[in-house]
A and B are shown apart, each in its own frame.
Chain A
Amino acid sequence: MSQRAGGTEFTLDTAAELAGETVAAEIRGRSPWYLAWRRLRRNYVAFFFLLIFLLVIVACALAPLYASHVAHSGPDANHILETVKVNGHPVQVVSKGGVINGKLVPSLPIGPTWFGGGGKFVLGADGPNGRDEAVRLLYGGRNSLIVGIGSSAICVFFAVVLALLAGYFRGWIDFVITRFFDLFYAFPVVLLGIALGSALAINGFHHFGISVQPGSLWIPTLVISYVLVPYVGRPLRGQVLSLREKEFVEAAIAQGASPLRVMFSELLPNLASSVLVFFTLIIANNIVLEAALSFLGAGVQPPTSSWGTLISTGRDFIVTRPWLSLAPGIAIVLTVLSLNVFGDGLRDALDPRAKVKVQH
Chain B
Amino acid sequence: MGERLLDVNDLHVHFATEDGVVRAVDGVSFELERGDVFGIVGESGSGKSVTAMTLMGLTRGVNAHFEGEVMYKGKDLLNISEREFQDYRGAEIGMIFQDPMTSLNPVYRIGDQIVEAIRAHEGVDRRTAQRRAVELLRQVGIPNPESRVDDFPHQFSGGMRQRAMIAIALSCNPDILIADEPTTALDVTIQAQIIELISRLKDDFNSAVILITHDLGVVADIADDIIVMYAGRVVERAATRELFYNPQMPYTWGLLGSIPRLDRPRPERLHSIKGAPPSLINMPPGCKFRPRCPHAFEKCTQEPQLENHVESAAHLDRCWLDTDYKRAHRDATISGGHTEAA
A and B touch in the complex (CB under 8 A): yes
A residues with CB within 8 A of B: 1-12, 14-15, 18-19, 23-25, 27
Partner of B342, one of A3, A11, A23: A3
The interface centre, meaning the residue of A3, A10, A15, A25 with most chain B CB atoms within 10 A of its CB, is A10
Quick one: CB contact mask for B310-342 with A, threshold 8 Å, 1 for yes? 000000000001100100010011001111011
Q: Is A4 within 8 A of B282, CB to CB? A: no
Q: For residue A3, which residues in chain B have a CB less than 8 angstroms away from its CB? A: 295, 297, 321-322, 325, 342
B residues with CB within 8 A of A: 254, 273-275, 278-279, 282-284, 290-299, 301, 321-322, 325, 329, 332-333, 336-339, 341-342
Partner of B339, one of A6, A10, A19: A6
Q: How far is the CA of A173 from the CA of B336 in the complex (A)?
A: 53
Q: Is A5 within 8 A of B282, CB to CB? A: no
* A-B contact list, 22 entries, CB within 8 Å: A3-B295, A3-B321, A3-B322, A3-B342, A4-B295, A5-B341, A6-B329, A6-B332, A6-B339, A6-B342, A7-B294, A7-B339, A8-B332, A8-B333, A8-B338, A10-B254, A10-B293, A14-B296, A15-B291, A18-B297, A24-B283, A24-B291
Q: Is B297 within 8 A of A4, CB to CB? A: yes
Q: Is B282 within 8 A of A18, CB to CB? A: no
Q: For residue A14, which residues in chain B have a CB less than 8 angstroms away from its CB? A: 290-291, 293-294, 296
Q: How far is the CA of A15 from the CA of B284 in the complex (A)?
A: 11
Q: Is A5 within 8 A of B274, CB to CB? A: no
A320 to chain B, nearest CB (A): 56
Q: Is B294 within 8 A of A6, CB to CB? A: yes
Q: For residue B290, which residues in chain A have a CB less than 8 angstroms away from its CB? A: 14-15
Name which residue of chain B comes closest to A19, CB basis.
Answer: B301
Name which residue of chain A comes closest to B275, CB basis.
Answer: A12
Known: A3-B295, A24-B282. 18 other contacts (CB 8 A): A1-B298, A3-B342, A4-B297, A6-B342, A7-B339, A8-B336, A9-B294, A10-B254, A10-B293, A12-B275, A12-B291, A14-B290, A14-B296, A19-B298, A23-B284, A24-B279, A24-B284, A27-B279
Assuming the contacts A15-B291, A24-B279, A24-B284, asked whether A8 and B298 have C-beta atoms less than 8 A apart, the reply is no
Q: For residue A8, which residues in chain B have a CB less than 8 angstroms away from its CB? A: 294, 332-333, 336-339
A11 to chain B, nearest CB (A): 6
Name which residue of chain A comes closest to B301, CB basis.
Answer: A19
Q: Is A10 within 8 A of B275, CB to CB? A: yes
Q: How far is the CA of A18 from the CA of B295 in the complex (A)?
A: 11
Name which residue of chain B comes closest to A15, CB basis.
Answer: B291
Q: Is B339 within 8 A of A18, CB to CB? A: no
Q: Is B282 within 8 A of A10, CB to CB? A: no
The interface centre, meaning the residue of A1, A4, A15, A19 with most chain B CB atoms within 10 A of its CB, is A15
Q: How far is the CA of A128 from the CA of B325 in the complex (A)?
A: 102
Q: For residue A6, which residues in chain B have a CB less than 8 angstroms away from its CB? A: 294-295, 329, 332-333, 339, 342
Closest 9 interchain pairs by CB?
Answer: A10-B274, A24-B284, A6-B295, A15-B291, A6-B329, A5-B342, A5-B341, A3-B297, A24-B282
Q: Is A5 within 8 A of B339, CB to CB? A: yes
Assuming the contacts A10-B254, A24-B279, asked whether A2 and B297 have C-beta atoms less than 8 A apart, the reply is yes
Q: For residue A25, which residues in chain B have a CB less than 8 angstroms away from its CB? A: 279, 282
Q: Is B339 within 8 A of A1, CB to CB? A: no
Q: For residue A5, which residues in chain B have a CB less than 8 angstroms away from its CB? A: 339, 341-342
A171 to chain B, nearest CB (A): 27
Q: For residue B275, which residues in chain A have a CB less than 8 angstroms away from its CB? A: 10-12
Q: For residue A2, which residues in chain B have a CB less than 8 angstroms away from its CB? A: 297
Q: For residue B325, which residues in chain A have a CB less than 8 angstroms away from its CB? A: 3
Assuming the contacts A18-B297, A19-B301, asked whether A11 and B283 have C-beta atoms less than 8 A apart, the reply is no
Q: How far is the CA of A162 from the CA of B254 in the complex (A)?
A: 51
Q: How far is the CA of A23 from the CA of B279 in the complex (A)?
A: 11
Q: For residue A23, which residues in chain B have a CB less than 8 angstroms away from its CB? A: 284, 291
Name which residue of chain A comes closest to B335, CB basis.
Answer: A8
Q: For residue B333, which residues in chain A have a CB less than 8 angstroms away from its CB? A: 6, 8
A17 to chain B, nearest CB (A): 10
A36 to chain B, nearest CB (A): 16
Name which residue of chain A comes closest to B328, CB basis.
Answer: A6
Q: How far is the CA of A2 from the CA of B297 in the complex (A)?
A: 8
Q: How far is the CA of A186 from the CA of B279 in the complex (A)?
A: 53
Name which residue of chain B comes closest to A2, CB basis.
Answer: B297
Name which residue of chain B comes closest to A22, CB basis.
Answer: B284
The interface centre, meaning the residue of B254, B278, B283, B291 with most chain A CB atoms within 10 A of its CB, is B291
Q: How far is the CA of A8 from the CA of B254 in the complex (A)?
A: 10
Q: For residue A4, which residues in chain B have a CB less than 8 angstroms away from its CB? A: 295-297, 342
Q: How far is the CA of A2 from the CA of B341 in the complex (A)?
A: 13
